[in-house]
Structure 1
Amino acid sequence: MNNNVEQLLIKKNCTIKDALGVIDNGAKGIILVVDGDNKLIGTITDGDIRRALLKGLKLEESLQDFIHYNPVVAYNDMGREEIKDIFIKKAVKQVPILNREGKVERLLDINDLLLPEGKENFVIIMAGGLGTRLKGLTEELPKSMLKIGQDPILQHIINNYKQYGYNKILLSVNYKAEIIQNYFQSGYAYGVKIDYVKETKRLGTGGGIRLARGYIDKPFFVINGDIFTNLNVENMMDFHINNKYDLTVGVRKHGFTIPYGIINSEKCIIKSIEEKPTKEYLINAGIYCINPDVIDYIPKDEYYEITELINKCIKQGKRVGSYEIKEYWMDIGKIEDYYKVNEDVSELLCLDKEGEKNND
C-alpha cells in the first residue's frame, strides 16, 4: 500500500468527528473504512457526513450507520481499459484499488484515467518558500505564483516537465498554500495530476522531500519553485539513470569578474599580472534527480537542507553526479532576477514555439 493513501483510511469504530478530521487531512472528499488488516469495509463521502449532521447526529456518535458497505472497487491486476470501463458503467468519480486479498492499495480518480498515461517518475516542486528577498511582490502571493509573462512561475515549471511526459506532480506547499491549491487544484485542467504535501513547519528542501516518501518508488525530480528554465528534463533523467547515479545535481557555470589586477608572485617576485580576470565555478542550480532509497537518509519531521542530503550521500559512498545545464536558467531570488526573466521570457517563448513548428 502506498503511504499516501493511509491518510484516507479510518476504522469502523471511529466517530463522526474522527471522520471529519480524516476527510479534511485527505482532501479527497472521501474516506475508506478498513479493518485491522486494512481490508476495505466501505466508503464515506463528505456529503454523507453533512447529511448525517443535518439529521441531528452528534459528532461523538459512531459512523457505522452511514458507511457504504458495497462500494465500487477495482483491483491492482486489472488493465487501464478494464478499470476505465468500471468508471463509465458505474458512473463514479473515484474508485478504491485493492489487491486480491481486499487490502487497499490506492484511491484512483477519474481524472487519473483521462490524462495521458505519462512517465512513472514524479516531479516534486518545492513551492513553500516565503520569498523574503522579494518583499513587496510576495506579501499577497507565494513566490512561486509570481507571474512570468502571463502565467505563474509554477505553471511554467509544470509545463516544461509535461512536454516531456512527466505529468505526475507533487507540490510541497506551506506559505499561502491555499492560493496554490485553489489555482491548480487537481492539475487536470493543466494536463497533469497534482498531489499536495503540506509542511506544517519549515522543513527545508530535504525535509519537504521526506514528506513525499509514500508516493515515490522510481527515480524522481526535485526542483525549487522559483526556477525558470527550459531545461530538457528528459535528457537529465536519462543521464542520471544511464550513469547509475543515486543523486544527480543540476549545475550551472557561473562566472564573476574580479575588478582589479591580480598579482601572481613567488617570494615577493612578481611572475605575472592578470587584469580583471573572470573566475568560473559550477553552482547548484536547484534541480535534482534522486533515487527513492536516498529519501531514507532524511530525518523525519526535521529541518534538513538538500546540501546536507548531498553530503550524506557522498559520505555513505553513494554515486553523486553533476549534470550541466546549458539551456536558459534563472533562479528568481532577487527582484532584479524577476524583472530580468520577464524581459527574457517573450523571446524564449517565441523560440519554443518555433521549435515546436520545426518538430511538426
Structure 2
Amino acid sequence: MKNNINRLFVYKSHTIRQVIQSIDLGAKGIALLVNQDGLLLGTITDGDIRRAILKGVPLDDSIENVVHYNPIIVKQNMTKEEIKDIFIKKAVRHIPIVDANNKVIDLISINDILLPEGKDNLVIIMAGGLGTRLKELTKEIPKPMLKIGKDPILHHIINNFKQYGYNKMVLSVNYKADIIENYFQDGYAYGVKIEYVREKKRLGTGGGIKLAKNYIEAPFFVTNGDIFTSLNVEDMMNFHIENKFDITVGVRRHSFQIPYGVISSEENNIRSVEEKPTIEYLINGGIYCINPEIIEYIPDDEYYEITDLINKCIKEGKNVGSYEIKDYWMDIGKIEDYYKVNEDMYELIACEKLGDEDDK
C-alpha cells in the first residue's frame, strides 16, 4: 500500500462526501485524517460514515463528528508479533503505521499479518471486461463472476495461483466493479491479499498493467479474468526466469481441420491434393510473465493492448518467449465455451477423486 497511501488522506476541510470518495478510491474501508505535513490526526472508517448517515447527518457536513481522534496505531519499528497482538486485542481490520514523529508511513491490514508471507511475484488479474459475447449471462454480473461449478471463474483463478504460493493479487476492475470488490474484499477470507485498480475508461490489458505499477517489485503474472486453467504457474514463472525472458507468453497448441480438399498448384498445374488437412498453430493463452522494467514501454492513460506491448518489446530487441500450456485450459469467450467448461469441471473433479482413491 505504501506507494498509494496518500489515496487514503483526508483533511479537516473535507466534507463527509469527500471522505466517502477517498474511502472508495483507497478501497480499504478507511480514510486517514492528516495535516499538511502528513502527521496523523485521526481515522474514519466506512462504518463511521454509515452510522452518521443513519443518524441523518448531511453528506456535505464537516467530518468533525465522525473522526476518531485517538486512533489505534503501530510504530514503524514494531515487530510482526507485536503488531499481531494489537490486531487481536483491538479487533480491527487496518491500522496506520507511523514514524517517531507520528507521520503516516503505511497502512497495514490483518491480512498482511495473519496470512502466509507468500512469494514476491504479483498476480495481476484483468477483471474489467464487459463480456458482451456472453450476452444475457453478463447483463447483471461481470464475466469473471460467472460460476464454474459452485464458484466464480475469478475464484478458480485465484485458487490456482494460491496453491503455488502466489497470494499477492491486484484486480483491474471496471464493469460492475462493486460486485467483484464486495465478493472478494481484501482477499483475507480466500487466503490471499487483494488490491484493486480501477479503469475510469477502457485501457486494454496493457493500460490495466500500468495502473498497477506501484505494486510491482519483481517479475509478475498477468492473466485474463476469463481463463479457466489448471496450469502449473510456478513452472511457468521458473521457465521465465531461467530463460531470462523479458516477457513470456503462455501459448496453447490449437489445430483446425480444413473441411475441403486442399490443392497445391503451380500456375494451372496441380501438384498434389490433400483431403481435409489439419493445420496446427500456437495461440495466445492470455497468461503472461513480465519483468517490472517492461512497464515503462506502456503509455500512461491510453488504451494499450498486451499485443501492442509484446510487439513493442520485439521491436526493441527484448527477449520475448513462449511457454506452452499443456494443462487444462479454456478461454471463456463465448456461451458455448462457458457451458463446455462447466461440463469439463465435473469430469476434472471426478478424475481427481479417482486419482486420490488410487493413491490410498
Q: TM-score, normalised by structure 2?
A: 0.88
Q: Which amino acid is 1:341 matched to?
A: V
TM-superposition CA deviations, 1:215-249 (whole Å, max 9, x none): 22122111111111100111111111222222111
Q: Give the SS at the match of 2:43.
A: strand
- What is the match of residue 130 of structure 1? 130
Residue type of the partner of 1:281?
A: Y
**Which is further off, 139-148 or 49-58?**
49-58
2:256 partner amino acid = F
Alpha-carbon offset, residue 276 of structure 1: 1.6
In the alignment, is residue 154 of structure 1 matched against residue 154 of structure 2?
A: yes
Which segments of 5 or more consecutive residues in structure 2 lack a partner in the other structure? none
**Aligned partners of 1:336 and 1:65: how far apart in 2?**
54
> CA distance change for structure 1 residues 358 and 171 in 2, over 3 Å: closer, same or farther?
farther
CA distance in 2, matches of 1:88, 1:140: 38
Q: Could you report, residue by residue, the CA deviation over 1:59-114 in whole angstroms, capped at 9, with x for unpaired residues? A: 364x4676545533334554432321232344443212345675534311113322
Give the equivalent residue in structure 1 for 2:314.
314
Deviations 1:22-78 (A, max 9, x none): 1232232321233445444443334555677759688364x4676545533334554
Seen in structure 2, the aligned counterparts of structure 1 residues 226 and 66 have a Cα distance that, compared at 3 Å, is closer
Percent identity for Structure 1 against Structure 2: 67
Aligned to 1:2: 2
Of stretches 273-282 and 4-13 in structure 1, the one that deviates more from structure 2 is 4-13
> Structure 1: where are the runs of 5+ without partners?
none
1:18 maps to which residue? Answer: 18
* Structure 1, 264-273 or 127-136: larger mean CA deviation: 264-273
8 A contact 2:2–2:107 mirrored in 1: no
1:187 corresponds to: 187
Deviation of the 1:351 alpha carbon: 3.0
> For residues 258 and 168 of structure 1, do their structure 2 counterparts lie closer, same or farther at Cα, with a shift above 3 Å needed?
same
Q: CA deviation at 1:195?
A: 2.1
Q: 1:320 to 1:74 in 2, by over 3 A?
A: farther
Residue of structure 1 equivalent to 2:228: 228
Shift of 1:329: 0.6
Amino acid at match of 2:26: G
Superposition map of 1:343-358 within 5 A:
343-353=343-353
Distance between the aligned counterparts of 1:90 and 1:137, measured in 2? 43
- In the TM superposition, residue 162 of structure 1 has moved relative to its aligned partner by 1.3
Please say if residues 3 and 213 of structure 1, whose CA atoms lie closer than 8 Å, have aligned partners that are also in contact: no
Q: Does 1:244 align with 2:247?
A: no
The answer to whether the aligner puts 1:170 opposite 2:170 as a matched pair is: yes
Q: CA offset at residue 189 of structure 1?
A: 2.2
- CA contact 1:164–1:234 (8 Å) conserved in 2: yes
Q: Partner amino acid for 2:191?
A: G
Map Cα deviations across residues 119-144 of structure 1 (whole Å, 9 max, x no partner).
Answer: 22221111111111111222222111
| Partner SS state of residue 85, structure 1 | helix
CA 297–37 in structure 1, closer or farther in 2 if over 3 Å, else same: farther
Amino acid at match of 1:224: N
Amino acid in the other structure paired with 2:325: I
CA distance in 2, matches of 1:11, 1:50: 19
CA 1:81–1:144: 2 relative to 1, 3 Å:
same
Corresponding residue for 1:108? 108
Give RMSD over aligned pairs: 2.8
* Alpha-carbon distance in structure 2 between the residues aligned to 1:181 and 1:58: 23
Q: Tell me the distance in 2 between the aligned counterparts of 1:249 and 1:52.
A: 50
Q: CA deviation at 1:282?
A: 0.9
Structure 2 CA distance for aligned equivalents of residues 163 and 358 of structure 1: 22
Q: Secondary structure at the match of 1:337?
A: helix
Residue 324 of structure 2 corresponds to 324
- Give, in whole Å, the separation in 2 of the partners of 1:52 and 1:147: 37
Contact (CA 8 Å) 1:13, 1:64: kept in 2 or not? no
User: 93-102 vs 309-318, which deviates more?
Assistant: 93-102
C-alpha distance in 1 between matches for 2:76 and 2:294: 27
Tell me whether 1:33 sits opposite 2:36 in the alignment: no
TM-score of the aligned structures, taking structure 1 as reference length: 0.88
Partner of 1:59: 60
Which 10-residue stretch deviates more, 185-194 or 49-58? 49-58
TM-superposed deviation, 1:200: 2.0
Give the Cα–Cα distance (whole angstroms) in 1 for the partners of residues 283 and 88 of structure 2. Answer: 51
User: In the alignment, which residue of structure 2 is the partner of 1:261?
Assistant: 261
Q: Residue in 2 aligned with 1:94?
A: 94
Whole-Å Cα distance in 2 between the matches of residues 253 and 277 of structure 1? 16
